Amino acid sequence: MLFLNKHAIQKIDPDIIQTAVEQAYRMMLNQDYNMPDRMHIADRQNTLLLMPCFSESFFAVKLVWVFPQAQQHGQPAVNGVMVLSDNVSGQPLAIMDGAAVTAQRTGAVGGLGVKLLAPETVSTAGVLGAGVQGLSQARYLLFNRKIKTLYIYDLYKESAISMKRALKKEYPNVEYVITGNSNQLVENSRVIIAATTSSKPLFEVTPDVVTGKIFISIGSFRPDMQEFPDAVIENADDIFVDTMFAVKESGDIAIPLNNHSVTKNRIKEFAGLLEKNTYPETSTVFFKSVGMALFDLTVSSAIYQLAVENNIGQVLDF
């Protein structure tokens, strides 16, 4: 039984993680897995999620909990434990820092979104929310595209400053601009990624500002949480979700559906994009991710295999 902590997981090459996310989408297309609906358990404003998934070779269970107020205690909002087991012998193979796996695979979900939806020539982008997921989204965005100017906005300027500092070390040639408000970020960016704990739309926008942009929503995971105003989805040429559970789980889809700003038949699974060669350059597109256990399975098994090959992690006696 291998134990992998966050330092080991954070060091893994983004290419390996993004390839594992792509593999999860291919398994979706082939219906080659067994994934029940994840269980949400609410306690006051906090949520515990139980996320199991089975493939032919592995089964993975992630327990992840979101405490939106944790920042007030100087702590991250998301914590968790990932357990990977052999699906033939039933033996536990690895236990991993679930928050680190989540940050890596969610960054890669956004990164693959950028890779398949954003034109190669895109040079401006913005990230709303400079927490754990915001930083990971920015890393995978910069891994996939040569961005000249990256705009960052967070409710807390110090968070935006520390994200800028971390990114500057890895991508020194990018110009980082911390904006005073979210509208300014949206106006200046071609790709806009939101990874906040906000329940209310993060900005106000007119249809002309939306046109031709790529919007990626990572944060909202409850029907009462919405990061993007209805105007975005209303004016999008295409709407994608990582999993159809997003329709009921996320207010970014459920609220506009309820307001009749969009109809359900316009919402498509992102996996379908893997079968296309190119995506139209000028499209306005909205991609909502809520995440799913299948990503955790393919990513944690890729991490495990790499760790075994390279003697990474600590062997534990169970």
Ligand X SMILES: NC(=O)c1ccc[n+]([C@@H]2O[C@H](COP(=O)([O-])OP(=O)(O)OC[C@H]3O[C@@H](n4cnc5c(N)ncnc54)[C@H](O)[C@@H]3O)[C@@H](O)[C@H]2O)c1
How many CA atoms lie less than 13 Å away from 45 in the CB half-sphere?
Answer: 9
CB nearer ligand X, residue 57 or residue 156: 156
Nearer to ligand X, 78 or 262 (CB): 78
Closer to ligand X by Cβ: residue 119 or 268:
268
Q: Strands 267-269 and 238-241: what pairing?
A: parallel
Considering the complex, what minimum distance in angstroms separates the CB of residue 216 from ligand X? 10
- Closest contact distance (angstroms) between CB of 57 and ligand X is 23
Residue 156 or 237 having the CB closest to ligand X? 156
Q: Residues near 113 by Cβ (< 8 Å), separated by ≥ 6?
A: 214, 216, 240, 270, 287, 289
The token duo for 317 is 């006696």
Pairing of β 58-66 and β 78-86: antiparallel
In the complex, the smallest distance separating the C-beta of residue 49 from ligand X, rounded to whole angstroms, is 9
- Amino acid (1-letter code) at residue 202: L
Of 156 and 206, CB closest to ligand X: 156
Work out how close the CB of 240 gets to ligand X at its nearest, in angstroms, rounded to a whole number. Answer: 13
- Dist CA 63 CA 82 (whole Å): 6
What DSSP state is assigned to residue 152?
E
Helices (H) and strands (E) in the chain, counts: 11, 15
The structure tokens listed for 249 are 């789980």
Rounded Cα distance, 213 and 63, in Å: 34
* Shortest CB 220 distance to ligand X, Å: 7
Nearer to ligand X, 28 or 132 (CB): 132
Where helices occur in the chain by DSSP H, the ranges are: 6-10, 14-30, 98-117, 132-144, 157-170, 182-188, 207-210, 230-234, 246-249, 251-258, 293-309
Using the minimum distance from each CB to ligand X, give the nearer residue, 87 or 137: 137
Shortest approach of ligand X to residue 121 CB, angstroms?
Answer: 27
Minimum CB separation from ligand X for residue 70, in Å?
A: 7
Residue, CB closest to ligand X: 131
State the minimum distance, in angstroms, from the CB of residue 133 to ligand X: 3
Q: CA–CA separation, 152 vs 158, rounded Å?
A: 11
Structure tokens at 266: 């316009």
Query: For residues 38 and 213, which CB has a smaller minimum distance to ligand X in the complex?
Result: 38
Residues lying near ligand X in the complex (CB under 6 A):
66, 71, 76-78, 102, 106, 128-134, 153-156, 159, 195-198, 202, 218-219, 221, 289-291
What whole-number distance in Å separates Cα of residue 304 and Cα of residue 300?
Answer: 6
